[in-house]
Chain A
């Protein structure tokens, strides 16, 4: 299982804090956890979102592989303010 966690705008729009899904890639995990969120559009991560695997590594590649036990964080793109 992969854990997907939503923060900020993503949580506001998804209406949930997270979900546990079966997925092999970032795109699969997002599609399974909250398809209506449309984090990936036309094969790219939408500009309002930022993705991190486990909080350490950031990714913009929807095809990145995930392993069982990974946590995918869906964050807001801009940290400033």
Chain B
């Protein structure tokens, strides 16, 4: 077999043991790798109805046939599990040497189940697995844990680590590697629930390719094109360039999606950041684009009000720089009403250190700000969640620890205490009441829009599950259920996943993409914004044709995420399907065609949807919060843009039919509602791989 090892490694963290499971070539050809193979693996390995934070929930690191080839941007991998944030299929992609070293361990995927007895480190060394105590790392930030592990084990190893947020089961915790993050859906909490601080990989096993000379030639050609105009934006300014553009189009989510334009947009724009604070540009492993723009935190600026841990003042030391993307910029800036560039940079750095998804973190704080300004925050008590034993966040030795002083994720007697809950202290009443919007929140010490210190403080409290942060650490959907008072109407999520930086009323094909996304509101699995920004669509009046075109953007994403290549390359392919088939043929030796890959992409999307159906999906989930369906946007370049519910429903129907599903979104006739409720999986019983 070329391009693959033909097996995955099923690792039991409880026993510290592993076994290799064969992957038939037919499965690999039908699902390719990355997200596609992850979907197949979760159908096979994930017990129906499993609690996402239970030991039985498998966490899969999945590689692809292109990993290890000289093709630019191919050092990527997918991480997948049933999400603790959404309860649905979740996958997150990232790029780093972890992909290269992970595949060299000798498997096409690492599937981790079980739970270690104490905070531990999982090491996969050329196929051999061991679990080592890692109590000394528990409580460390992601960069410090990564640096400590590199120092301890040497440069041959790569590590995927969690920060304090993952340890405390924050439902939007990330998994970090080379200080990049597999960000969405709370996969860091899944790793934390297994009491694993990190997964380390090292290996020597390479997979041959079918046409070595052809792959090298294709790699040279692709690299040359990657320097061209289609990727210029990413190289020269980075994704932060979106902010001012979206602001001009009234599509920049502002103050928890209450507006599409932000008064402070110029001050926090990519253009301004580039001029004032950019210090370097970097690339992912094996990438020629170089889209990572690094910014300096202002010297002498305000330190983030991080609660000091046992190391006292050491917990507030500033690392000095941060990588920033548009999604972090919008979520920690305009969405929270923040117009202070340095506060945004510090907030992004804090999220990275704690290991939290910047989109969900910023969206959750923005949501809390609106709740506070509406007078809805008070004595809410988050529902208890079961906590794994043995993971106290109070170790002392070495490294930078944020919030390590908190004795347990729930503020009680440590993780060993089981289910705990902590009431949010009622705010002092009537202190310093001001005037105008948000005055009450300001006066009572609650977060309010534009409050930079409040943002930084609340992010830290979320990462430590302290007080109000404990409630918000469960994401906006769960927080809204506890807060009540109509908060659910403006909690910015789909299926529990917070919306990225695209205002749905101003970009209505994207609104559809959010509503139907299998992992929730998502800009990486649906590129429907491309429809909105095309000459033959009206972005403020989505229609059935927009929906049909959105399907194509999802299919392309499914292919790219299964190969895996970087989506920033998409503009360099005149014909993605044909070129992808050619690349895959050169690597695997298969006589694969563009049409076959189109069918593969559809199969991958079907498999993700079928997983969700198995886990309880209903058509009612495919929608947007009431705010977007009931409130038009205020003035701007899309004045009064509104998305009536009937219009969204018509688009969803068109989308479902274009996918070959029923009008409501059930997949074919195999799993209609009665059988979905009873069969628990694929025809023939649970755990069987999907057909086709």
Contact = CB atoms under 8 A, between A and B. Distances in A.
Interface of A: 5, 7-9, 11-13, 46-48, 50, 52, 54-61, 73, 75-81
A57 B638 CA distance: 11
A58 B271 contact: no
A5 to B, nearest CB: 7
Contacts of B178: none
B88 to A, nearest CB: 22
B529 A80 contact: yes
B638 A50 contact: no
B236 A77 contact: no
A76 to B, nearest CB: 4
B523 A7 contact: no
Determine which residue in A11, A46, A79 has the highest number of CB atoms from chain B within 10 A of its CB, and name it. A79
Interface residues of B, number: 43
7 contacts: A7-B241, A7-B244, A7-B271, A8-B237, A78-B230, A79-B246, A81-B327
The 7 A-B pairs at the shortest CB distance, nearest first, are namely: A81-B239, A8-B241, A55-B637, A48-B229, A76-B233, A48-B232, A7-B245
Contact of B571 (A8, A11, A47, A75): A47
Interface in B538-552: 538-540
A79 B571 contact: no
Determine which residue in A8, A50, A73 has the highest number of CB atoms from chain B within 10 A of its CB, and name it. A8
Contacts of B502: 79
B19 interface: no
Contacts of A9: 232-233, 236-237, 241
Interface of B: 228-230, 232-234, 236-239, 241-242, 244-246, 248-250, 270-271, 274, 291, 325-327, 502, 523-524, 527, 529-530, 533-535, 538-540, 567-568, 570-571, 637-638
Contacts, number: 94
A78 B638 contact: no
Contacts of B534: 58
B233 A48 contact: yes
A40 B325 CA distance: 28
Contact of B242 (A47, A52, A60, A79): A79
A7 B539 CA distance: 19
A56 B242 contact: no
Contact of B529 (A7, A8, A47, A79): A79
Nearest to B233: A76
A12 to B, nearest CB: 6
Given A50-B533, A79-B530, A55 B248 contact: yes
Given A8-B241, A58-B534, A58-B535, A47 B248 contact: no
B554 to A, nearest CB: 13
Contacts of B325: 81
Contacts of A73: 248
Contact of A54 (B229, B233, B326, B637): B637
